């Protein structure tokens, strides 16, 4: 398949770990460390409401006298994360991420925008680039 026909779903990290918006940032950091990921889609009642990154947590941790165990994920997450369907063009997704300086696209089911099926990160994009240029 030519590079122009590649779909982001072929390169995404499937079945991503998630976290509830009512969980603490300490819990988010622990999950990220345990699963060796830098981003967690945030859910509320099974619906996608945001994304939290290790950088979001580090920013809150840098505030003097703030205990991340008492800060909820919803207070630090990015609301309305960028989502695309698994059938989206790899080239278009990577171009948009580069132009908008977005580190992660949340991949949703083509028929249900609340159903998170994967994430596509800059690491996934670099893996695709390395394999497609080989």
pLDDT at 120: 96
pLDDT at 115: 83
pLDDT at 109: 85
Mean pLDDT, the chain cut into blocks of 10 residues (134 residues total): 77 93 97 95 93 95 94 95 93 94 90 83 91 84
Q: Where are the domains of the chain?
A: 3-132
pLDDT at 40: 96
80 Ramachandran zone, left/alpha/beta (phi>0; psi -120 to 50): left
pLDDT at 1: 52
Does the predicted TM-score (pTM) go above 0.85? yes
The top-level CATH class assigned to 3-132 is alpha beta
The Cα–Cα gap between 72 and 109 comes to: 27
């Amino acid at each position: 398949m030519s590079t122009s026909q590649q779909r982001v779903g072929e390169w995404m990290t499937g079945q991503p770990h998630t976290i509830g918006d009512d969980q603490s940032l300490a819990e988010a950091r622990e999950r990220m460390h345990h699963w060796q990921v830098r981003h967690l889609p945030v859910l509320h009642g099974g619906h996608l409401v945001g994304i939290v990154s290790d950088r979001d947590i580090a920013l809150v941790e840098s505030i003097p006298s703030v205990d991340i165990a008492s800060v909820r994920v919803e207070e630090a997450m990015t609301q309305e994360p960028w989502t695309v369907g698994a059938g989206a063009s790899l080239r278009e997704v990577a171009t948009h991420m580069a132009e908008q300086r977005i580190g992660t696209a949340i991949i949703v089911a083509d028929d249900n925008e609340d159903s998170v099926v994967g994430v596509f990160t800059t690491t996934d994009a670099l893996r695709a680039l390395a394999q497609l240029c080989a």
